[in-house]
Amino acid sequence: MSNDVIVARSQAYTDSVQLLLQQRGSRFRAAVMEGHYRGKAAKAVEQIGAVSAQKRTTRHGDTPLIETPHSARWVFPTHYEWADLIDDQDKLETIVELTSPYSINGAAAMSRSIDDEIVPAFFGDSRTGENGSDTTAFDTNQVVAVDEGATGATGLNVAKLRAAKKLLMANEVDIDNDPLYVALTAEQHDDMLNEIQAVSLDFNTKPVLVDGRITAFMGFNFVHSERLDVDGSGNRRCPAWAKSGMHLGVWNDIEGRVTERDDKSFATQVYVKGTFGATRAEEGKVIEIKCDES
């Protein structure tokens, strides 16, 4: 046996690296509006409220001046970073190249951080006012009850999607031009598979179920995420929203660097960073659907 090629010290039994199960990219970034900013805070949306015209009842009367209401929504940055070291000994004692998988792993972690900013913003307090010092709480009138369409608590069903769509339309959301989304976990997706109206061609002009998965129904695009919160009663809080109703602020997009650290015995450092913030842009464009998971 040759002594020129020694791989016996290697702790790897394959020539490839497999990342463990995890969410790789952001699930929500493409489903919200996005802006890029600098500074310690940013005005994400300048809001101009609705006004009413006044009837003209006299000739040569005074011109009516109708005051236009103004408000704003703000986003504030949160800094994220991740790093790990690869020693020279690691490179020598393994038969796989580690730098690229480490970079991919770090980027996946950073993408999940984007979702961790967006998800709480669906139902959390929004920063409002002239300089972002005021807060606006989520409107509890924009909630689809856990027992909607049933005599008791239920999971996600067609009745709840109808109720969410009705609220959005009643709020004058432009559903023809503003894409609509619903976020759901695997549990709610399984609920929908039990809904005949969602999976049967008798109720749909084109197939909804593709490879065992529902990606869109009733004008909503479904976003799968296992990061959704539950309320105090243990009900899953599934957001339904118009794209313009949520805003992601990006101060520093996902950026990675691979450098040599002379202070760490010249180990290779894989470093990833990003700075993000999110807010609900308008109350009438975000609906909460409560879903039982018991």
Per-residue pLDDT tens digits for 8-36: 344 444 444 455 556 778 999 999 999 99
The per-residue pLDDT for 226 is: 96
Is residue 193 located within the same domain as residue 236? yes
For the whole model, what pTM was predicted?
0.83
Is the domain of 161 the same as that of 286? yes
Query: Quick one: pLDDT at residue 11?
Result: 43
Q: Does residue 226 share a domain with residue 194?
A: yes
At residue 242, the pLDDT reads: 98
Do residue 209 and residue 229 come from a single domain?
yes
Q: Are 44 and 116 contained in the same domain?
A: yes
Q: What is the pLDDT of residue 76?
A: 93
Rounded to an integer, what distance in angstroms lies between the CA atom of residue 121 and that of residue 241?
12
In total, how many domains does the chain have?
A: 2
Domain coverage including residue 36: 29-48+70-129+249-280
Say if 157 falls within a structural domain.
yes
Task: Specify whether 116 is located in the same domain as 254.
Answer: yes
pLDDT at 255: 87
Average pLDDT along the chain, 294 residues, taken 10 residues at a time? 39 46 82 92 72 78 71 89 80 55 85 95 92 91 94 92 97 96 97 84 62 87 96 97 96 88 87 93 96 94
